Chains A and B, each alone.
Chain A
């Protein structure tokens, strides 16, 4: 290893240490304050309002986490203004990095959202409890019928759902196959589907690594696919259609075209 590489690695360790310390301090400050605020407000408001408040605050906290990475990692958003007109929707995102759960907070900031997550986020101390309170959906903890019924009820109440249908982080840039549960729910509920494409995240935080590297992450929000455009398509074709939309955009974002 050359002296230039050693210097780079030292710089990386310093930057990461600083970054993680700031994350922890920020969370230690933000989470208790937000909890006190929610609990006080809950005394005088309905359960539904408390849910809405918790979900919004999780979004702000996640955006804060993304904001903290800014000096280190550039995050470029390309939102779709036309999507602000639509109601509750299902966000379908590709998944290359651990950061994605935080990164999607920005494109989803206008809405009350819950995420479909795996089992492990519920096991993280404090965060797991907050996720439960917010009604985040644990896709592996229930049969599809129950999951579908909860998801439909959320959308019916104006709550959007963020989903990573690959189920796990993809290995590199090639996108994994999609699970069709959210597409079946979309077809039944008749809500818009908004594809979100995230690129560059795989270089910033490598799979199985905690050390972040400087880089640029691009997040593109594609135009919503309205129910009228997909209502006659079978669930399998719908998931392939949305997957292809994301692949096409990612190819451009990754510099392939």
Chain B
């Protein structure tokens, strides 16, 4: 029973780690540009499809496809930011919501047109499949890989934000765009780079998530709620908050589906309502 519990807990953590990886970009764009981007899942989907195409058409190994997924999604994010998103930073939230729903619809239709409506398969390398015995517990090898990778990326992100010049510029821009611009920080460049980085991470998350979340054209809508939840519960623009929120959601979702399958999907929604009532501005939110 205890081993079972730990197994579920670990699955939940792996799931949460994946959510965090995808949603962190959304959290940052929301905190930095105050932009409600419902199309964020589309970048994750793009990363996923890039991986599938590379692996099935060009026989690229899974691990080598991951960085490409990151780059493809980051480039798409950078291009869209330059062309479209930038025009709407000052627009109302309603306009942003509509715009990003429109983009999501286009992404879904395009993906259906190119790859068909079915679930995409992914063949993991042998060392990432099966179970591994850790301290007497049977844990999924891929889950361990996921958690380890996300830990590394999170540490990298924290380093980037807290220790580098670019990170300082990002933090300054989050706190006050005007003051940051007044100090000579190129806020537009910070926005573009951050948006590209966030999209890239989403693409990487989408590639890693094919095995866990599944990949089909409805992906951006199916998981939109989860990504938004991470941001709303964690508080926009806070790495710590997003991480905590993603882990809480991941663990509760997996545990709910495992222990009480009859009410599985309710657990997460009820949890969300409770968390939002308790913390209207998010766990670590600075803005309402």
* Binding between chains A and B: no
